[in-house]
Amino acid sequence: MSIRQPLADRIRPETLDEFVGQEHLRARITALSSAPRLPSLLLFGPPGCGKSTLALLLAKQSGKNWLRVSAPEAGLQQLRKSLAGVDVLVLDELHRFSKAQQDFFLPLLESGEVTLIATTTENPSFSVTRQLLSRMHVLRLRPLNRAEMTDLARRGAYACQFSLDDQSYDFIAGVAHGDARTMLNLMEYVAALPEESRNFESLRTALPEVVIRHDKDGDNHYELASALIKSIRGSDPDAALYYLACLLEGGEDPRFICRRLILSASEDIGLADPMALPLAVSCQHAVEFVGMPEGFIPLAECVTYLALAKKSNTSYAAYLAASKEVRTNGPRPVPLHLRNPSTKLQKDWGYGKNYLYPHNYPEGHVEQQYLPDGLEERSFYQPKEHGQEPRLAAWFKQLRKKR
């Protein structure tokens, strides 16, 4: 094995027993690897968590002819030629293929001609087509924990023929933030240092600056996104802007942030400030038009506005109440007078009979039953008394009193 080979490749495990991490998937991985036929898999997780390593181990253990390619480097025309005689295809970074390119794999998986083991750091709900996802088992991998990272650090040091004290191993494992590849690169850096510099105090100053980042779709990714939304919900613009900066400086896709802001505008602000939703949607358009890095400007404006806006979750809560009713008791029949009589037979059945057209009455309203039988007295929407909601709900409240 060449000393020029990256340390991550030099100590890559040869068997599943040597594979570090992903204890929550061990039983499932064992079952898949021992199955008569390996199914197509999508390994989803942050950088450096072992996706490619696991994919290669499963491909090798299958005993079939396998090929590994990377989506950014693979053209479909060349890939089509390369698949001759290949039973298992290990494809890194599936999300780098467009949705149209991903359709190339559908007939191959449908016929069983090729087993696909793909990896992605992007949330497959957004980056992989629904048709392709339906033909694959999705395994979500997690960042390695501190103990697992420390174990790998020791392996790396052993391969590089040096050792460190426990505090140094723990320090290097911590600064890599669950990314084994980053940590092993740091171990190679440490191996090149003079022996007298391989102590904790020296390493704190000698290690190269670790770029502040978070792992897309990893735990830190969701922790920061959650903190951003909860700070907006709690009306703290300072905290919200701080977490926005953490996300953007960490390389987060601004489209993901825009999606979260749009949802926050509807869920947490809602009718208390109806301008919040169009502002969030406008922010998305502005970011797409301007691009990054200047896109932080409309994002910062939107985050500040949402944090300062009055809050109401009544429409969100009303929907949850209505959906609970439907899930618990099932959908009830629509009253006949609300059904549209599209055919003569439906009209004979009473569809639309006695329906009262509200615009024919004063103030554009007439009292009639809208909810199904048995739910006439149910009230899912409960307005709050702050922001713009009292103005919006005033007429509704008057109508409710008349019932």
List the domain boundaries for the chain.
22-140, 146-206, 219-308, 330-402
How far apart, in whole angstroms, are the C-alpha atoms of residue 109 and residue 255?
30
pLDDT at 398: 72
Q: Does domain 146-206 match CATH 3.40.50?
A: no
CATH of domain 330-402: 1.10.3710
Q: Which residues contact 122 (CB under 8 A, 6 or more apart)?
A: 95, 216, 217
pLDDT at position 392 over 50: yes
Query: Residue 393: which pLDDT band, with cuts at 50, 70 and 90?
Result: confident
Question: Token match 């390994």: residue?
Answer: 43
For 12-28, write each residue's pLDDT tens digit.
888 888 888 888 888 88
Question: Which pLDDT value is given to residue 220?
Answer: 60
Q: Does domain 219-308 have CATH number 1.20.272.10?
A: yes
pTM of the model: 0.53
Q: Please, how many CA atoms are within 13 Å of residue 283, restricted to the half-sphere of its CB?
A: 28
Class of 22-140 in CATH:
alpha beta
| pLDDT digits 0-9 by tens, 135-149 | 898 899 988 888 888
Q: Where does 112-268 have alpha helices with state H?
A: 124-127, 130-133, 146-159, 166-175, 180-191, 200-206, 219-233, 237-249, 254-264
Residue-wise pLDDT for 271-326, tens only, equals 889 999 999 999 999 998 888 888 899 999 999 999 999 999 988 888 888 888 88
